Amino acid sequence: MDDCFIYSSKDIGKIPEVNSGFLPSWVNQEKELFSIRKKDGFFSCCDILKLQNRRVPLLYKKAVEEKGIYEVEITFESVNLEEEVLIFTSRRHLAFKEKVSNLTTLSFLIDVSPIIPRGQEVAVNDEAINLAFFNAKVENIKVTKSEGRRIFIFGDSTVADQGAELPYSPFTSYSGWGQMLSYFITKNAISNHAHSGLTTASFRREGHYKIVIKEIRENDIVLMQFGHNDQKLKELNYNTGYRENLIKYIEEIEEKGAIAIIVTPLARNSFDNCGNYNDLLKEFASECLLIGKEKNIQVIDLHKFSMELFISLGL
């Protein structure tokens, strides 16, 4: 296990999609941010800069022989009992967020698969397990090949894995909802292929769908949420290109024996000058519900839920 920890911040990869999702900020790229300490059989991270309200993680990267699903079992304790332990997997997928008072063992599934990094055109194979620990000292990490169901995610920036700067402050970073799904689901492996700016058309055209359709197996689940960027293109209007593309995905996914689920687009936080909510994605959300009825598939109405939340909070 010793040689799998990243001992220098200068060894962190430059592409967040093929490491833990964390990158040193541009002002800290040439600085050493942390050191690794081993004491009484536990590994922990020592913050060198000690910036207020910012922290650095203990980073772990273990190469695996092939892509697929892996079970990860971690035994750890808290460094500071008064603070929460944060554990992230893959591309900053939240896996654990709690205070810990005793030696704790946590297990979950991770999907290792190729991905096309943001702004690139070619898929990258990152056959490794990536973990990041905040406020944790780690005794043991066990990685084993596993079988199980994967939950694939298609979508745009509101769903995507988003990177964060080091030293890390949660208040200066953001994420798509797909990045947080692993916190609530531990018995399935999350495989998020959403990216900022994607539409129902560009997800296929830019090669993301080609990666996923090769890997989908019977009983896997596919969550699809588009609309924010389709809305900006005339050819992807809700009742033409958008509808046609979603139906084509559904039919091809079901041919593989997998389960297709549409997620209505996350509502925009938009109000008019009088303080009334302005529902800019109403037609796209309604079309998703209509397609769900026509194709007899489940639809998660995230649009309705998020819109009601925005209205309750107000401007």
Q: How many separate domains does the chain show? A: 2
Of 80, 112, 147, the last residue of a domain is 147
- Can the peptide bond before residue 114 be classed as cis, meaning omega within 30 degrees of 0? no
3-state secondary structure of 295: helix
> pTM of the prediction?
0.92
Residue 177 covered by a domain: no
Residue 91: give the domain boundaries: 1-147
Query: Rounded to a whole number, what is the largest CA-CA distance in the chain?
Result: 63
Question: In tens digits, what is the pLDDT along the chain, a chain of 315 residues?
Answer: 667 787 677 777 666 666 778 888 888 877 888 888 899 999 999 887 888 888 999 999 999 989 999 999 999 999 999 999 999 999 899 999 999 999 999 999 999 999 988 777 888 887 899 999 999 999 999 999 999 999 999 999 999 999 899 999 988 889 999 999 999 998 999 999 999 999 999 999 999 999 999 999 999 999 999 999 999 999 999 999 999 999 999 999 999 999 999 999 999 999 988 888 999 999 999 999 999 999 999 999 999 999 999 999 986
Q: Is residue 188 part of a domain?
A: no
**Pair (8, 110) in one structural domain:** yes
CATH number at residue 81: 2.60.120
Same domain, 87 and 220: no
Task: Give me the phi and psi of 117, to 5 degrees please.
Answer: -60, 155
230 and 291 part of one domain: yes
222-259 per-residue burial string, b: 16 or more CB within 10 A, e: under 16: bbbbbbbbbbeeeebebeebbbebbeebbebbeebebb
Same domain? For 216 and 99 the reply is no
In contact, 220 and 141? CB cutoff 8 Å: no
Has residue 62 been placed in a domain? yes
Give domain status of residue 109, yes or no: yes
Contact, 195 vs 51, CB < 8 A?
Answer: no
